[in-house]
Amino acid sequence: MSRILVPCHVKGTVALQVGDVRTSQGRPGVLVIDVTFPSVAPFELQEITFKNYYTAFLSIRVRQHTSAHTPAKWVTCLRDYCLMPDPHSEEGAQEYISLFKHQMLCDMARVLELRLILRQPSPLWLSFTVEELQIYQQGPKSPSMTFPKWLSHPVPCEQPALLCEGLPDPSRVSSEVQQMWALTEMIRASHTSARIGRFDVDGCYDLNLLSYT
Amino acid sequence: MLQEESDLSLIIAQIVQKLKGSNLYSQLERQAWASLQRPEIKLESLKEDIKEFFKISETGWEKKLQNAVYSELSVFPLPSHPAAPPEHLKEPLVYMRKAQGSWEKRILKSLNSMCTELSIPLARKRPVGEQKELLNKWNEMGTDEPDLSLFRPVYAPKDFLEVLINLRNPNYENGDSLSFRTHLGLIQVPLKVKDIPELKECFVELGLNIGQLGIDDSTQVPPELFENEHVRIGQKVLAEQDSAAAQQYIRQGSPTALRAELWALILNISSQPEDVLYYEQLKTNVIQHDLLVDSLIYKDVKLTASNDDYYFVFEDYLYQVLLCFSRDTSVLSHFAYNSASPPKSYIRGKLGLEEYAVFYPPNGVIPFHGFSMYVAPLCFLYHEPSKLYQIFREMYVRFFFRLHSISSHPSGIVSLCLLFETLLQTYLPQLFYHLREIGAQPLRISFKWMVRAFSGYLATDQLLLLWDRILGYNSLEILAVLAAAVFAFRAVNLMEVTSLAAAEAVLADLSTLKVMPLLQIFLFATVT
């Protein structure tokens, strides 16, 4: 399905911490990232992709556009999605992740703002975040075309003229020809990815030194 | 779920793309053309009729296709996220990629300096006289005694160990203060490794109540209890030619008579005339061009395999396999999932011009000290050079490459080292503490075993039983478990030593060890 990138503004991460940030010794385990869409009308969210960087759990809250009189409320659409099965080890720490509309807890139509809540309970990591955040909305469906009248309302077929004896049935011949054409198209479209196996350039393999780049 | 369906179709598309370039594809195509003569194939239902024809089991094609697909699934990683760059597929963690990059740079510098010091070109075309001479003595290259005193191996396992010891994650709390997660061993990266309950689940076929070759085929046990039946099942698996069944079967060990065929079935190697031709082509490449890497291979074989009591008879085979291996460009495809990258060079005088950029050596793998020991045990099983070559190449691109490149893969050498140290620390804490106190970190002793997959340290029949399990479980974790089991076995002696040298002496000779009882006791019979 097609998708369109929605330009978004990712605000700086805000750490949530109990007590005074300066005096407490531990590192924050919860970060909040706000994502706004300043130049876009409320849209239907299709997909969110990002690169993880040591975040263990992700929750997402969304504020949707409702009818004019009720104020927009924050709704949780993803709760504690696990990105790292073991928060103390490297598994899943730098993976690329996609989250889709059907994984969300609520309907994602008319999105105004997103709030990503990142949690990393392990004290072993110096920092954690998500990178390369991209939001996609549904792409346009294939444009509807108006068919010419003779395609959508074919003329009722006339009686075929009587053929001479010995000739094959034309409808059978035409279906066979169609299939052969389809086969030749398929063969033309496919190409092999086999290597040739030559390592030299025109028979020459005189090398000086290895290159560092 | 939508996501799983699209993942599945992506995997299918990837496998189809890979198989399109293979021998099997052209064979199937030829068969399909030939089958058009048959009366039951009609043009209207061409696709279905040909599919039906292939499914008939006497032709064996469905089985061959199944084996090929299974082989692809075992070797290639699943397709990654569309936004992920190709480096991510090689190695997801950025700091490990960087470490591998700088290690490779060091190797290149070392090779370049050897080149300039000895004034020997990296590669040159052999003059015709020399080509004829080499062709004549192809089968007895071991009798050659070239002067190799100026050559030195590019690196040895202990240099690589130093690199792994210094591996650090910049985002990890590496402070001096001891915390609950301080690594007391040499490896300081927090990779996920299995503990004994998870290993028990993973290696369930090695359990105490399941028959094993290596234990239940000893002379005291009557063969009717296990061995005869196991051999019978093995013959049946070979008759069916089913890769997946063979892989499951070999987890309990392979009878000596069936091992060569079973390994070939699991690795999906069948000696077609095309494969023999390909090997001959590689041989021609060896004869035409002389590489500096050849001298490194010569030196390595002379230093390691020729000095080994079990393997010196295979010296000539080793040259025939390793020299051809260096010229094989099909090995380059494994760099898609290997964190390493092949070294690049330019044709003399054309520095910087991309059309004249080549890989050196042609297969991208620079051998290190002990590399020939990966091939030596295989010489016991295969005597025909092209089949021996194919088996070695497949074993290398599936398993052995992970033992000398820095990656976070569960079968990579870094994970194996961490698994070994964690097992020892958790289940033999006194021994671990004692060895650490006397300055004999256990990994310093066991690293060389794991890098060589124990080749050259165990007796050959025991080594082959171990490699059976590597193939059966498609993972190298068993090497780390065996290393810990060896330490557990010699724990009493090790507790009395007072220096690294003495600890090395206790563990110097592993040739009398029986591998399967050690593994079984460590995994299933140790009180935890």
pLDDT in tens, B479-491: 999 999 999 999 9
The nearest CA of chain B is from the CA of A148 a distance in Å of 31
Residue with the bigger pLDDT between A34 and A176: it is A34
With pLDDT > 70 as the criterion, what percentage of chain A qualifies? 78
Partners of residue A30 on adjacent β-strands: A16, A119
Pair B100, B106: CB distance under 8 Å: no
Rounded distance between C-alpha atoms, residue B208 and residue B479, angstroms: 19
Q: Which residue of B has its CA nearest to A91?
A: B192
Pair A124, B190: CB distance under 8 Å: yes
- Which among B262, B295, B480, B451 has a CA at the least distance from the CA of B374? B451
Instruction: Tell me which of A1, A47, A52, A94 to substitute to probe the interface with B (most B C-beta atoms closer than 10 Å).
Output: A94
User: What's the confidence (pLDDT) of residue B71?
Assistant: 84
Tokens of A115: 């709030």
Rounded distance between C-alpha atoms, residue B5 and residue B363, angstroms: 37
Pair B412, B402: CB distance under 8 Å: yes
Q: Nearest by CB to B358, from A54, A128, A201: name it.
A: A201
Tokens of B2: 């939508």
Residue A68 has pLDDT above 90, yes or no: no
Pair B467, B403: CB distance under 8 Å: no
Tokens of B26: 């052209």
Site of tokens 């190709």: B86
Half-sphere exposure of B302 (CA within 13 A, CB side): 18
Pair B22, B269: CB distance under 8 Å: no
- pLDDT band at residue B4 using 50, 70 and 90 as cut-offs: low
Instruction: Please report, for residues B23, B285, B330, B385, B388, the alpha-carbon distance to residue B320 in angstroms, rounded to integers and kept in the order given.
Output: 24, 12, 17, 7, 10
CB of A149 within 8 Å of any CB in chain B?
no
Tokens of A2: 């097609």
Q: Which residues of A touch B25 (CB under 8 A)?
A: 192
Angle in degrees, CA B452, B453, B456, rounded to 5: 65
**Greatest Cα pair distance in chain B:** 82
Q: Which residues of A touch B344 (CB under 8 A)?
A: 210-211, 213
User: What's the confidence (pLDDT) of residue B22?
Assistant: 77
Q: Which residue of A has its CA nearest to B355?
A: A201
Contacts of B21-27 spanning 24+ positions with Cβ under 8 A:
B21/A192, B21/A193, B21/A194, B21/A195, B22/A194, B22/B68, B23/B272, B23/B274, B23/B275, B24/B64, B24/B65, B24/B68, B25/A192
Site of tokens 């590669």: B123
Which strand (E) or helix (H) includes residue B395? helix B385-398
Domain boundaries, chain A: 3-17+26-138
Q: Does domain A3-17+26-138 have CATH number 2.60.120.260?
A: yes
The residues, ordered by sequence, that sit 6+ positions from B189 with a Cβ below 8 Å of its Cβ are A90, B167, B168, B169, B172, B414, B418
Tokens of A164: 């001479």
Residue A13 has pLDDT above 70, yes or no: yes
CB contact under 8 A, B329 and A198: yes
Instruction: Tell me which of A100, A195, A211 to substitute to probe the interface with B (most B C-beta atoms closer than 10 Å).
Output: A211
Which strand (E) or helix (H) includes residue A209? strand A207-211
Q: Which residues of B touch A194 (CB under 8 A)?
A: 20-22
Q: What would the pLDDT profile of B237-284 be if each residue is shown by its tens digit?
A: 999 999 999 999 999 999 999 999 999 999 999 888 889 999 999 999
Pair A65, A42: CB distance under 8 Å: yes
Strands of A1-105, DSSP E: 3-6, 9-10, 14-16, 30-36, 45-53, 57-64, 74-82, 96-100
With pLDDT > 70 as the criterion, what percentage of chain B qualifies? 97
Pair B480, B453: CB distance under 8 Å: no
Q: Nearest by CB to A209, from B44, B112, B181: name it.
A: B112
User: What's the confidence (pLDDT) of residue A72?
Assistant: 79
Q: What would the pLDDT profile of B159-206 be if each residue is shown by its tens digit?
A: 999 999 999 999 988 766 667 677 888 999 999 999 999 999 999 999
Partners of residue A115 on adjacent β-strands: A34, A61
Residue with the bigger pLDDT between B6 and A30: it is A30
Which strand (E) or helix (H) includes residue A148? none
Q: How far apart are the first and last CA of chain B?
A: 41
Rounded distance between C-alpha atoms, residue B144 and residue B316, angstroms: 10
Pair A35, A116: CB distance under 8 Å: yes
Residue B433 has pLDDT above 70, yes or no: yes
User: What's the confidence (pLDDT) of residue B174?
Assistant: 75
Q: Nearest by CB to B21, from A88, A193, A206: name it.
A: A193
Pair A43, A7: CB distance under 8 Å: no
Pair A51, A33: CB distance under 8 Å: no
Domain boundaries, chain B: 1-76, 90-151+270-399
Mean pLDDT of chain A: 80
Q: Which residue of B has its CA nearest to A55?
A: B171
Rg of chain B over Cα atoms, rounded to whole angstroms, equals: 25
Rounded distance between C-alpha atoms, residue B368 and residue A12, angstroms: 48
User: What's the confidence (pLDDT) of residue A165?
Assistant: 62
User: What's the confidence (pLDDT) of residue B283?
Assistant: 94
